[in-house]
Amino acid sequence: MRFLRAWIAAIVLSLIGYLLFLAVDLAYPPLRLFGTMTQLLGIPRLFQLVHQIFGLGQGGKIFAFTGVSVLWLGGLTLLGGLWRGQISGLMVFVLMLIFTPWYVALGYGVAFWLLLDGVNALLAPRRAGAGGNTGGDTISDTSGSVVSPIAGPPVKLAPARRTPAADLRGAGRVVTAPDSARRTTTALLAAGGAVVAAGGLSALFGSGGETASAAAVITPGGPLPFGVTPVSQWYYVSKNLEPFDPKVDGTKWRLKVSGLVRTPQSLSLQDLKKFTPVTDERTLACISNPVGGPLISNGVWVGFRLSELLKAAGVQGGAKYLIWEAADGYTESLPLGRALEDDILLVHTLNGAPLNVKHGFPLRVLIPGRYGMKQPRWITGIRLTDTDEPGYWVKRGWSKAAEVELLSRIDEPAEISPQMKAGVASAIRGIAFFGDKPITKVEVTTDGGKTWTAARLVTPRTRYAWTPWEMPFTPAAGVYQIAVRAFSGSTVQKVADADALPEGATGYHHFIVNVS
Count of all residues that appear for the chain in the document: 516
Structural contact between residues 442 and 456, judged by C-beta atoms closer than 8 angstroms: no
Stretch that binds ligand MTE, among 24-32, 59-67, 236-244, 439-447 (CB under 6 A): 236-244
Residue type, position 90, single letter: L
Distance of closest approach, residue 398 Cβ to Mo ion, in angstroms: 9
Helices (H) and strands (E) in the chain, counts: 11, 21
Cβ of residue 295: shortest distance to Mo ion, in angstroms? 7
H or E stretch at 108: helix 102-123
In angstroms, how far is CA 401 from the centroid of its own chain? 21
Contacting positions for Mo ion (CB under 5 A):
237, 286, 372-373
* Cα(93)–Cα(77) distance, integer angstroms: 15
Does the footprint of ligand MTE cover residue 466 (CB under 6 A)?
A: no
Long-range contact set of residues 13-20: C-beta below 8 Å, sequence gap at least 24: 13/76, 13/108, 13/111, 13/112, 13/115, 14/72, 14/73, 14/76, 14/197, 15/196, 16/111, 17/108, 18/200
Which listed residue (32, 127, 282, 359) binds ligand MTE by CB under 6 A?
A: 359
Using the contact rule CB under 6 A, the part of the chain among 36-44, 238-246, 460-468, 477-485 near ligand MTE is 238-246
Query: Which residue, judged by CB position, is nearest to ligand MTE in the bound state?
Result: 372
Binder to ligand MTE among 72, 93, 378, 466 (CB under 6 A)? Answer: 378
Please tell me the distance from the alpha carbon of residue 41 to that of residue 43, in angstroms, as a whole number. 5
* Closest CB to ligand MTE among residues 91, 255: 255
For residue 367, give the nearest of 376, 359, 375, 379 by alpha carbon. Answer: 375
Q: Minimum distance from CB of 392 to Mo ion (Å)?
A: 10
Give the range of 37-45, 150-158, 376-384, 418-426 binding ligand MTE by CB under 6 A.
Answer: 376-384
For the window 317-346, what string marks contact with ligand MTE as x by the rule CB under 6 A?
---------x-x-x----------------
471 is in the binding site of which of Mo ion, ligand MTE, none (Cβ under 5 to 8 A by kind)? none
CB of 294 to ligand MTE, least distance (A): 11
Q: How many CB atoms lie within 10 A of CB 417?
A: 8
Bridge partners, 21 (sequence order): none
Binder among 375, 408, 445, 493 for ligand MTE (CB under 6 A)? 375
Q: What, of ligand MTE, Mo ion, none, does residue 304 touch, CB below 5 to 8 Å by kind?
A: none
**Whose Cβ is closer to ligand MTE: residue 284's or residue 404's?**
284
By CB under 6 A, tell whether 238 contacts ligand MTE.
Answer: yes
Alpha carbon distance 469, 410 (integer Å): 9
326 binds, options Mo ion, ligand MTE, none, Cβ within 5 to 8 A by partner type: ligand MTE
Question: 263-277 as b/e, with b when 16 or more CB fall inside 10 Å?
Answer: eebebebeebeebee
Binding mask 284-303 for ligand MTE (x = CB under 6 A): x-x-----------------
**DSSP string computed for 462-482:** STTS-EEEEEEE-PPSEEEEE
Residues paired with residue 278 on neighbouring β-strands, in sequence order: 303
Question: Judged by CB under 6 A, does residue 398 bind ligand MTE?
Answer: no
Q: List contacts with ligand MTE (CB under 6 A).
A: 234-240, 284, 286, 326, 328, 330, 359-360, 372-373, 375-378
